[in-house]
Amino acid sequence: MDKKRIVLVGGLAPSMFEGFRELTIWYKRISVEELVELVKRAGEVLNYVRHESTVRLLSQVLERDLTPNAGLYKWAEGDELIIVGLKKPIRGQEVQVSAEDLDLIYCRIFPGH
């Protein structure tokens, strides 16, 4: 069985699902420890999080060299998404974040309903 691709994103946008009329989204809030285990089992990890402090923290926690990325992600069937947010976001400021600040949602997406 092929290993899954894990994609770190800052949120979901309709443009991610271009070409799909109907999708089912399953999500679950996860801990940092659960994220680490998912990444360990992944075949590939892509980062589309652009918040610098958050990406630095993810790099440390996941032991991977991640860089901020403001690119546009297009969902591919089989991708598993991790929405990476902050429990108490502060807009317009660069703040230092800790693992306790992360709000992580694991998403699996399926064509149809």
Task: Give the C-alpha distances (Å, rounded to integers) separating 99 from 14, 33, 79, 87, 107.
Answer: 28, 10, 24, 10, 20
Q: Which amino acid makes up residue 61?
A: V
Per-residue pLDDT of the chain (113 residues; tens, 9 = 90+): 457 899 999 999 999 999 999 999 999 999 999 999 999 999 899 999 998 999 999 999 999 999 999 999 999 999 999 999 998 877 766 678 899 999 999 999 999 87
Per-residue confidence (pLDDT) for residue 112, from 0 to 100? 87
Domains in the chain, number: 1
Cβ-proximal residues to 21 (8 Å cutoff; 6+ apart), any chain: none
Identify the helix (H) or strand (E) that includes residue 76.
none
Distance CA 50, CA 104 (A): 15
Distance CA 38, CA 15 (A): 25
CATH number, domain with residue 65: 3.40.50.11170
Specify the pTM.
0.91
Rounded to a whole number of angstroms, the distance between the first and last alpha carbons of the chain is 25
Per-residue confidence (pLDDT) for residue 93, from 0 to 100? 66
Per-residue confidence (pLDDT) for residue 1, from 0 to 100? 46
Distance CA 39, CA 30 (A): 13
Helices 52-62, 32-41: inter-axial angle, 10-degree rounding? 70
Range of the domain at 107: 5-111
